[in-house]
Amino acid sequence: MVLITSSLALAACGNLQSSGLGSTSTTKSKSSVTTTGQASDGEYQGVIKKGKYLTSKSRGVSQSQDDNTYNLKSFENGLLSISKKEFATNKYVFQEGQYLKKATTQNWLARQSKSNPTGLNPKDNGEKSETKRNPIYLQQLEEQDYMTQSGSKLSLSGMTIGLGLNQIDYYEKEQYGATYETKISEATRVAEGKKMANEVVKRMRKKSGVGKVPIVIALYKQATNDSLVGGTFFAYGVSKNGSNSITEWHNVDQKNYILPAVNNAKTGSGKASESFSNFKTQVQNFFPNLSGVTAQTQYNSGTLSGMKVSITTQFYSQTEITSFTQFVATEAQKYLPTGVPVEITISSTSGVQAFVARESGEKSYYTHVFGSY
Amino acid sequence: MVLITSSLALAACGNLQSSGLGSTSTTKSKSSVTTTGQASDGEYQGVIKKGKYLTSKSRGVSQSQDDNTYNLKSFENGLLSISKKEFATNKYVFQEGQYLKKATTQNWLARQSKSNPTGLNPKDNGEKSETKRNPIYLQQLEEQDYMTQSGSKLSLSGMTIGLGLNQIDYYEKEQYGATYETKISEATRVAEGKKMANEVVKRMRKKSGVGKVPIVIALYKQATNDSLVGGTFFAYGVSKNGSNSITEWHNVDQKNYILPAVNNAKTGSGKASESFSNFKTQVQNFFPNLSGVTAQTQYNSGTLSGMKVSITTQFYSQTEITSFTQFVATEAQKYLPTGVPVEITISSTSGVQAFVARESGEKSYYTHVFGSY
């Protein structure tokens, strides 16, 4: 059984919450389906089958798809956020994709060809020039299943598939040769993405067990390889009532920025940049040796939705780490934007030493210094 | 100003607390002394002077003293714990040692010799044999100052000095040669430690500004170089009323263990070992690929006082990390010992991915998955 001290503490720090399915089942019975438990109100529970986590049928495919690891994290986390718009976390349980197998996903991600008729990327037209060749539009693809519980059984009640689409396709003219770039215009990316979305829905409807559940297809713009922040979602469509295509499209206005600005890039709202800049100045003054302080920010529909700050500095003792962490929390409270979740990691050359975070909906910061006996 | 949502949330997760000194002063005034803010009830605030953290006068000395980095962390954190017995966190402010300079500390840590009359370690007797040579007893030394506030001024009101004493002295017979070991008996270690403690008190009393403040000398047994957990404190003495020696000694019964046991080593209480073993089994079953699960435990006066669990596994996606973290929190709640702080770090080959912790005095776990946009 899971104990809860109070609903306040729970909302405050994402403390472990009890959950109907997770807390009453046992993972010892070999036939039972249970869940991972719910970390906080706004998170899905995951499916455990026969005592093991039900991993994705296409596990490991996405890892090899991307040279920029920020794209992997932001694609998967963003896909969960899009799903939450259609599948409420208190009603649905998250299951790693079970309908697209590894081989299928790999085929879909490849170019269409005689030997690979299901490839979603265009045929190789034989051209090598940046502007004449057919680029790879689709870089990554991921399925997420949303289950509902009826008695002790979970059944598929929704599905989300994310399509990660390139703004730049990186390619080599010869193996191990130089890397060239084919730029893809926004109009082309949007059009190709929506076309693929309809094709994917059509194919999924034919799969046994999918039936008439709502299918969400989310379109993601991959960040370029040199980006210090991942890409962003720009649209999602829903196929309802068992339709073979998207029945309604929604625009998603999402933007990511890096602070301080790199090469005069845009930084989002001036207010957030300024408050970060003040915070950075305070933190960098703290030690005689300067700290590196950078942040990723995300905006949804023009409004700041969160900030992830990364601080790197050299520490000479545990007490310096503890004092620095306290100081960072104090300055974050003073300077960083209020009303949005903020995550601050404090690292040395030997890894993360401490972290400071204000969770969604909270006013105060949680601090933790990693220790050892 | 620092906002507090509720005293419950504060106790629950070490949220940032307001503090008389820290929250009213400003770090902008060049002449002001402020503090870092207090992370939680049981932690000291640190001193900020002229906008910068007041680092130790012997900064960096300890880092070079030890081949086992667990000794560094556990020595410094343990020293704070010992200090808390004499200097209450709500009354005293922590200041990095300002009375022992780097050169002084280095001289004290070295052997006594004609050119170094203040060396606390014995003279080199010219012997090379493990049993005949004079070993290095004192491996590390650290000063911590405890200040009290009067108006806007902080003044020294207490001091703690830790002495890290070897159970094995590792040495080379020739430079870059093989490493040999001189074992130091418990009786010798205790006797040498107490003798040094009195000598250190005598020397500190002569330093300008120390006056008659209470001086705590804490004696620490260094873990061996191959240990996967740091050493432990075994005694501390207090010099009161300006005395030139320790006026009272206290035994400290502290033990550290590793779970699961390595080479049939002792593991502390059978109950804690068993509960950890059950937890480990559940966690290792979660993914098809096994996870590495180990723990450090600490006992004070025979009672478990905390557990630090380290889990390493391969992840294939962000959703796996999130689900695994939820599961770990659920199983920790079910199996791990209650009533003591537990820290669980979840890492992949690319570093810490998430962490789960139950802070001192709490019943529920806090979870955090590190993300990026």
Count Cβ atoms within 10 A of the Cβ of residue A254 and give its class: 0-12 exposed, 13-18 middle, 19 or more buried.
buried
Comparing alpha-carbon positions, the chain A residue that sits nearest to B330 is A37
In the predicted model, is pLDDT for residue A179 greater than 60? Answer: yes
Q: What single DSSP character describes residue B135?
A: P
Per-residue model confidence (pLDDT) at position B262:
79
In the predicted model, is pLDDT for residue A17 greater than 60? Answer: no
Q: Count other C-beta atoms under 10 Å from residue B291's C-beta.
A: 18
Across the interface, of A9, A16, A373, the residue whose CB is closest to B74 is A373
Per-residue model confidence (pLDDT) at position A135:
96
Comparing alpha-carbon positions, the chain A residue that sits nearest to B298 is A373
In the predicted model, is pLDDT for residue B144 greater than 80? Answer: yes
Sheet arrangement for strand A47-49? A33-35, A47-49, A52-53
In the predicted model, is pLDDT for residue B306 greater than 90? Answer: yes
**Do B75 and B200 sit in the same domain of this protein?**
yes
Cβ–Cβ < 8 Å for A325, A369:
yes
Tell me the two tokens of residue A263.
Answer: 């090469």
Across the interface, of B80, B322, B373, the residue whose CB is closest to A308 is B373
In the predicted model, is pLDDT for residue B21 greater than 80? Answer: no
Contact B322 A298 (CB under 8 A): no
**Do A122 and A229 sit in the same domain of this protein?**
yes
**Do A209 and A283 sit in the same domain of this protein?**
no
Q: What is the pLDDT of residues B6-16, one digit of tens each?
A: 222 222 333 33
For residues A88-113, average pLDDT: 95
Contact A352 B352 (CB under 8 A): yes
Q: Which of A60-69, A182-191, B350-359, B362-371 has the lowest mean pLDDT?
A: A60-69
Q: Which stretch of DSSP H or E encloses residue A162? A: strand A153-165
Contact A55 B316 (CB under 8 A): yes
Contact B326 A38 (CB under 8 A): yes
Contacts of B326 in chain A (CB under 8 A): 16, 36-39, 43, 45-46
Beta bridge partners of B366: A15, B357
Across the interface, of B308, B345, B368, the residue whose CB is closest to A357 is B368
Distances in whole angstroms, Cα of residue B175 to Cα of each of A150, B116, B171, B178: 72, 21, 10, 9
Cβ–Cβ < 8 Å for B217, B249:
no
**Do A275 and A345 sit in the same domain of this protein?**
yes
Per-residue model confidence (pLDDT) at position B9:
27
Q: Using CA atoms, how far apart are residues B155 and A359, in angstroms rounded to an integer?
A: 37
Residues 6+ apart with CB under 8 A from A269: A299, A304
In the predicted model, is pLDDT for residue A363 greater than 90? Answer: no
Contact A46 B319 (CB under 8 A): yes
The verdict on whether omega for the bond into residue A260 sits within 30 degrees of 0, i.e. cis, is yes
Q: How confident is the model at residue B38 (pLDDT cuts 50, 70, 90)?
A: low
Q: Which of A99-103, A342-346, B3-7 has the lowest mean pLDDT?
A: B3-7
**What is the domain count for chain B?**
3
For residues A16-20, average pLDDT: 39
Contacts of A27 in chain B (CB under 8 A): 282, 285
Q: Count other C-beta atoms under 10 Å from residue A304's C-beta.
A: 18
- Say how many CA atoms lie within 13 Å of A192 toward its Cβ: 22
Contacts of A53 in chain B (CB under 8 A): 286-287, 320, 323-324, 327
Can you list the alpha helix ranges (DSSP code H) found in chain A?
7-13, 20-24, 69-86, 102-109, 186-205, 270-286, 318-335
Tell me the two tokens of residue A271.
Answer: 């207010």
Q: What percent of chain A has pLDDT over 70?
A: 90
Identity of the amino acid at B205: R
Q: Count other C-beta atoms under 10 Å from residue B113's C-beta.
A: 11
Q: How confident is the model at residue A296 (pLDDT cuts 50, 70, 90)?
A: very high
**Do A126 and A3 sit in the same domain of this protein?**
no
Contact B351 A355 (CB under 8 A): no
Q: Which of A15-29, A39-53, A154-168, A297-311 has the lowest mean pLDDT?
A: A15-29
Q: Using CA atoms, how far apart are residues A150 and A210, in angstroms rounded to an integer?
A: 17
Q: Which of A95-99, A161-165, A362-366 has the lowest mean pLDDT?
A: A362-366
Q: How confident is the model at residue B167 (pLDDT cuts 50, 70, 90)?
A: very high
Contact B327 A43 (CB under 8 A): no
Distances in whole angstroms, Cα of residue A150 to Cα of each of A157, A241, A268, B137, B168: 11, 21, 45, 68, 63
Cβ–Cβ < 8 Å for A15, B368:
no
Distances in whole angstroms, Cα of residue B264 to Cα of each of A310, B231, B256, B298, B337: 41, 19, 15, 18, 22
In the predicted model, is pLDDT for residue A18 greater than 60? Answer: no
For residues B50-54, average pLDDT: 87
More confident residue, B2 or A336: A336
Q: What percent of chain A has pLDDT over 90?
A: 71
Contact A373 B43 (CB under 8 A): no
Minimal C-alpha gap between B24 and chain A (Å): 12
Per-residue model confidence (pLDDT) at position B109:
95
Residue with tokens 């950075």: A280
Contacts of A326 in chain B (CB under 8 A): 16, 36-39, 43, 45-46
Count Cβ atoms within 10 A of the Cβ of residue A26 and give its class: 0-12 exposed, 13-18 middle, 19 or more buried.
exposed
Structural domain span for residue B236: 55-252
Per-residue model confidence (pLDDT) at position A9:
27
Per-residue model confidence (pLDDT) at position B271:
86
Q: Using CA atoms, how far apart are residues B342 and B357, in angstroms rounded to an integer?
A: 6
The enclosing domain of B314 has a CATH number of 3.30.300.190
The chain-wide mean pLDDT, for chain A, equals 88
In the predicted model, is pLDDT for residue B329 greater than 90? Answer: yes
Contacts of B296 in chain A (CB under 8 A): 372-373
Q: Using CA atoms, how far apart are residues B289 and B251, in angstroms rounded to an integer?
A: 46
Q: What are phi and psi of B351, to 5 degrees?
A: 110, -170
In the predicted model, is pLDDT for residue A173 greater than 80? Answer: yes
**Do B164 and B204 sit in the same domain of this protein?**
yes
Comparing alpha-carbon positions, the chain B residue that sits nearest to A40 is B367
Per-residue model confidence (pLDDT) at position A12:
30
Contact A333 B16 (CB under 8 A): yes
Q: How confident is the model at residue B60 (pLDDT cuts 50, 70, 90)?
A: confident
More confident residue, B45 or A201: A201
**Can you spell out the DSSP letters for B211-277?**
TT--EEEEEEEPPPTT-SS--EEEEEEEE-TT-SS-SEEEE--EEEEEESPSTT---S-HHHHHHHH
Q: Name the domain boundary from A252, A286, A309.
A: A252
- The torsion region of residue A55 among left (phi > 0), alpha (psi -120 to 50) and beta comes to beta
Per-residue model confidence (pLDDT) at position A261:
84
In the predicted model, is pLDDT for residue B295 greater than 50? Answer: yes
In the predicted model, is pLDDT for residue B103 greater than 60? Answer: yes
**Do B37 and B182 sit in the same domain of this protein?**
no
**Do A194 and A300 sit in the same domain of this protein?**
no
Q: Count other C-beta atoms under 10 Å from residue B29's C-beta.
A: 11
Q: Using CA atoms, how far apart are residues A164 and A176, in angstroms rounded to an integer?
A: 25
Comparing alpha-carbon positions, the chain A residue that sits nearest to B255 is A373
Identity of the amino acid at A370: F
Spacing of C-alpha A373 from chain mean position: 34
Cβ–Cβ < 8 Å for B57, B100:
yes
Q: Which ipTM score applies to this complex?
A: 0.87
Q: What percent of chain B has pLDDT over 70?
A: 90
Q: Name the domain boundary from A193, A219, A252.
A: A252
Give helix then strand counts, H and E, for chain B: 7, 17
Across the interface, of A9, A327, A363, the residue whose CB is closest to B3 is A363
Contact A372 B73 (CB under 8 A): yes
Q: What is the pLDDT of residues A60-71, one digit of tens each?
A: 787 666 778 899
Comparing C-alpha atoms, which of A269, A263, A270, A233 is closest to residue A250?
A: A233
In the predicted model, is pLDDT for residue A336 greater than 70? Answer: yes
Q: What are phi and psi of A225, to 5 degrees?
A: -65, -25
Per-residue model confidence (pLDDT) at position A158:
97
Per-residue model confidence (pLDDT) at position B325:
94
Q: Using CA atoms, how far apart are residues B135 and B121, in angstroms rounded to an integer?
A: 8
Q: What is the pLDDT of residues B223-277, one digit of tens each?
A: 999 999 999 999 999 999 999 999 999 999 999 999 998 777 788 888 889 999 9
Tell me the two tokens of residue B263.
Answer: 């080479």
Among A233, A278, A336, A372, most B C-beta atoms within 10 A, so best to mutate, is: A372
Across the interface, of A9, A56, A77, the residue whose CB is closest to B364 is A9
Minimal C-alpha gap between A342 and chain B (Å): 11
Q: Which of A225-239, A289-303, B34-48 has the lowest mean pLDDT?
A: B34-48
Tell me the two tokens of residue A197.
Answer: 């979305």
Across the interface, of A15, A73, A318, the residue whose CB is closest to B76 is A318
Q: How confident is the model at residue A6 (pLDDT cuts 50, 70, 90)?
A: very low
Minimal C-alpha gap between B118 and chain A (Å): 25
**Do B32 and B67 sit in the same domain of this protein?**
no
Cβ–Cβ < 8 Å for B16, A333:
yes
Per-residue model confidence (pLDDT) at position B327:
92
Identity of the amino acid at B270: G
Q: How confident is the model at residue B193 (pLDDT cuts 50, 70, 90)?
A: very high
**Do B224 and B193 sit in the same domain of this protein?**
yes
Cβ–Cβ < 8 Å for B182, B131:
yes
Per-residue model confidence (pLDDT) at position B39:
58
Minimal C-alpha gap between A133 and chain B (Å): 31
In the predicted model, is pLDDT for residue A300 greater than 50? Answer: yes
The enclosing domain of B237 has a CATH number of 3.10.570.10
Minimal C-alpha gap between A42 and chain B (Å): 12
Per-residue model confidence (pLDDT) at position B68:
86
Across the interface, of A43, A318, A330, the residue whose CB is closest to B36 is A330
Q: What single DSSP character describes residue B302?
A: T
Per-residue model confidence (pLDDT) at position B6:
27
Q: Using CA atoms, how far apart are residues B128 and B94, in angstroms rounded to an integer?
A: 43
Per-residue model confidence (pLDDT) at position B34:
81
Contacts of A373 in chain B (CB under 8 A): 70, 74, 229-230, 256, 296-298, 306, 308
Q: What single DSSP character describes residue A124?
A: P
**Do B48 and B73 sit in the same domain of this protein?**
no
Long-range CB pairs of B47-54, under 8 A, 24+ apart, other chains included: B47/B93, B47/B94, B47/B95, B47/B96, B47/B147, B47/B154, B48/A286, B48/A327, B51/A285, B51/B27, B52/A285, B52/A286, B52/A287, B52/A288, B53/A286, B53/A287, B53/A320, B53/A323, B53/A324, B53/A327, B53/B96, B54/B95, B54/B96, B54/B98
Q: Using CA atoms, how far apart are residues B31 and A83, in angstroms rounded to an integer?
A: 54
Please give the interface size between A and B, counted as residue pairs whose CB atoms are below 8 Å apart: 288
Q: Which stretch of DSSP H or E encloses residue B76? A: helix B69-86
Pairing, β A138-150 against β A93-96: antiparallel
Q: Name the domain boundary from B230, B252, B274.
A: B252
Count Cβ atoms within 10 A of the Cβ of residue B7 and give its class: 0-12 exposed, 13-18 middle, 19 or more buried.
exposed
**Do A236 and A285 sit in the same domain of this protein?**
no
Contact B96 A373 (CB under 8 A): no
Contacts of A30 in chain B (CB under 8 A): none
Comparing alpha-carbon positions, the chain B residue that sits nearest to A13 is B366
